[in-house]
């Protein structure tokens, strides 16, 4: 009994599943039917009817027929097939032939997608055919307006276009005829052919607008401004050459070249060659400016040269006088001093530069007097000469400053030598004042070296021609040697005095400490040999063994009593 119930439940579930799947397919079929219905909404059919009313001809008509046939073929073919396929799928679903339903829906979806793409392509092309006529009409209206505006300008200002007027009038006539033809073709029902004509007209009208805008100022430059400027340049050139001006460029040849360029510009005006004419007029203007500049340069240069002529003469004379005085002073100093920095040669080189500047200046004056001067070149020469003279005077001043202190340097050197002699005497006196039994040989030898150096200095200073550079170096060396001599003298005096103090202090230990007695004997021997520092060290070492700190105590007492006379 239970198994019967289970079977019945299974059967009920299966029936419910089949019903649910059938319902799912029904919904898909309904959605697909709605999608197919939107493929032909009537928009394309409306386009076909509207275009048929345009009474197309020529290529436009042929093109329309092609796309109308494609539309009809789509309607009669794929769209009809889709309706039939949908009915078949719907019937198969009712008969529970779900495999057929699945395959049918997939095929319908693929055909529907392709049909939608074809319909969109057809609609776009038909829309373009319809829009072409409207676009042509709109574009023709704009071109006609631009043409009328250009025509008004040409008629109202015909004088401003000069020799370009005949060509402009021909262009206006051609454009007017072109507008009429394109309009007739468009209205006759062939917008595609009209579009090509409209495009060509657009280029022609654009060129006309540019010509009407740019030609008047260009024509004015070529017809009025340039000839007037050339006439002014030619007149000025004749006047200036009559005044014996010489130019750095051939003004006459330049004027002739500009005249040829102007004649070429006139031909460009007649040919409405605005682009080349614009470039040519710019080149003419630059060339005219350069011709003006060439003449103006010489006019300004002459004024500057004549204004600077006297001042430069004075500058040259002053620099040459300073060089003469410097040379005399150097010759005089050279008799008494060694000039080690090529001062005489340098002054002679500067004299050569001054002679060259002076010679060039005299030649410039001759050119002016003989009316053969190129003033711009002379102005550059004068400017460079002033710069060179300034540099020369600075060098002469530097040379003079370098030798002006030679006599003072000699006086100071003599004073220094005398100071060295006094210092050596003071050292000898201070050392002798301490009644030392003798002096170390190394000290005596160094003392003699210092004395000999001072004697050599005196001899060098007593020469007819003094080398102050060498003397300055010797002064530095002798000064250092005297400082060293003073220090050695201090060391000897200090060591001898400290040794005597240590000997006195050591007397208290010589009987009780054998090492002290022996150290005193050793110190006495060293002292007798003038090794005062060695003697002091020998006693100090022994005292430190019996009384640590005794050396410092004695040394401090001794140093406190001393007054250094060797400063």
Q: What are phi and psi of 279, to 5 degrees?
A: -65, -40
Query: Token pair of 462, please?
Result: 């007593």
Report which secondary-structure segment, H or E, holds 58.
Answer: helix 58-74
Between helices 274-336 and 375-403, what is the axis angle to 10°? 30
Q: Using one digit for the tens of pLDDT, what is the confidence trace for 139-188?
A: 667 767 666 766 776 665 767 667 766 766 677 677 666 666 666 665 55
Query: Which pLDDT score, from 0 to 100, does residue 17 have?
Result: 47
Nearest Cα neighbor of 95 from 33, 9, 26, 36 is 26
The pLDDT of residue 21? 44
Residue 290 to residues 206, 208, 248, 260, 283, Cα–Cα distance (Å): 35, 34, 12, 16, 11
φ and ψ at 466, to 5 degrees?
-95, 135
Q: What per-residue confidence (pLDDT) applies to 263?
A: 86
**Span 386-412, pLDDT tens digits:** 999 999 999 999 888 877 777 777 788
> Do residues 119 and 44 make contact, with C-beta atoms less than 8 angstroms apart?
yes
Q: Where are the beta strands (DSSP E) in 233-385?
A: none
For the chain, percent of residues with pLDDT exceeding 70: 64
Under DSSP, is residue 96 helix (H, G, I), strand (E, B) or coil?
Answer: coil
Query: What is the DSSP track for 129-144?
Result: HHHHHHHHHHHHHHHH
Alpha helices in 434-467 (DSSP H): 441-461
Low-confidence ranges of the chain (pLDDT < 50): 15, 17-19, 21-22, 57, 567
């Amino acid at each position: 009994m239970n198994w019967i119930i289970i079977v019945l439940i299974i059967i009920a579930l299966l029936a419910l599943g089949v019903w649910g799947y059938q319902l799912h397919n029904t919904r898909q079929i309904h959605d697909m039917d709605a999608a197919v219905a939107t493929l032909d909404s009537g928009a394309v059919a409306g386009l076909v009817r509207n275009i048929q009313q345009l009474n197309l001809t020529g290529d436009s008509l042929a093109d329309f027929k092609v796309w109308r046939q494609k539309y009809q073929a789509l309607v009669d073919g794929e769209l009809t097939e889709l309706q039939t396929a949908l009915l078949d799928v719907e019937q198969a679903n009712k008969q529970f032939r779900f495999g057929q339903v699945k395959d049918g829906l997939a095929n319908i979806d693929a055909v529907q997608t392709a049909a939608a793409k074809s319909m969109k392509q057809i609609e776009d092309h038909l829309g373009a055919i319809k829009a072409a006529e409207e676009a042509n009409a709109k574009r023709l209206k704009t071109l006609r307006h631009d043409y009328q505006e250009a025509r008004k300008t040409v008629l109202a200002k015909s004088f401003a276009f000069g020799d370009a007027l005949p060509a402009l009038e021909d262009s206006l006539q051609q454009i007017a005829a072109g507008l009429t033809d394109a309009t007739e073709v468009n209205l006759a029902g062939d917008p595609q052919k009209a579009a090509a004509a409209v495009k060509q007209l657009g280029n022609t009208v654009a060129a006309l607008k540019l010509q009407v805008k740019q030609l008047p100022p260009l024509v004015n430059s070529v017809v009025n401004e340039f000839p007037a400027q050339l006439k002014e340049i030619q007149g000025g050139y004749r006047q200036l050459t009559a005044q014996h001006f010489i130019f750095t460029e051939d003004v006459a040849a330049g004027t002739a070249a500009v005249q040829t360029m102007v004649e070429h510009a006139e031909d460009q005006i007649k040919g409405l060659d605005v682009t080349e004419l614009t470039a040519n007029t710019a080149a003419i203007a630059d060339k005219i400016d350069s011709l003006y500049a060439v003449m103006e340069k010489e006019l300004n240069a002459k004024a500057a040269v004549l204004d600077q002529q006297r001042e430069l003469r004075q500058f040259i004379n002053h620099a040459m006088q300073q060089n003469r005085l410097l040379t005399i002073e150097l010759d005089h100093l050279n008799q008494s001093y060694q000039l080690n920095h090529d001062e005489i040669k340098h002054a002679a080189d500067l004299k050569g530069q001054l002679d060259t500047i002076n010679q060039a200046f005299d030649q410039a004056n001759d050119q002016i007097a003989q009316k053969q001067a190129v003033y711009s070149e002379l102005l550059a020469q004068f400017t460079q000469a002033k710069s060179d003279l300034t540099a020369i005077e600075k060098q002469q001043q530097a040379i003079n400053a370098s030798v002006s202190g030679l006599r003072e340097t000699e006086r100071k050197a003599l004073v220094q030598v005398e100071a060295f002699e006094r210092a050596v005497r003071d050292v000898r006196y201070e050392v002798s004042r301490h009644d030392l039994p003798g002096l170390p040989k190394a000290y005596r030898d160094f003392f003699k070296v210092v004395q000999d150096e001072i004697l050599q200095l005196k001899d060098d200073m007593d020469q007819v021609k003094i080398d102050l550079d060498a003397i300055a170096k010797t002064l530095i060396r002798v000064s250092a040697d005297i400082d060293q001599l003073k220090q050695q003298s201090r060391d000897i005096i200090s060591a001898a005095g400290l040794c005597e103090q240590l000997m006195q202090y050591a007397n208290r230990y010589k009987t009780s400490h054998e090492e002290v007695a022996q150290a005193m004997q050793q110190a006495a021997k060293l002292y007798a040999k003038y090794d005062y520092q060695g003697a002091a060290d020998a006693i100090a070492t022994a005292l430190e063994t019996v009384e640590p700190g005794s050396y410092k105590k004695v040394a401090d007492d001794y140093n406190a009593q001393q007054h250094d006379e060797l400063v």
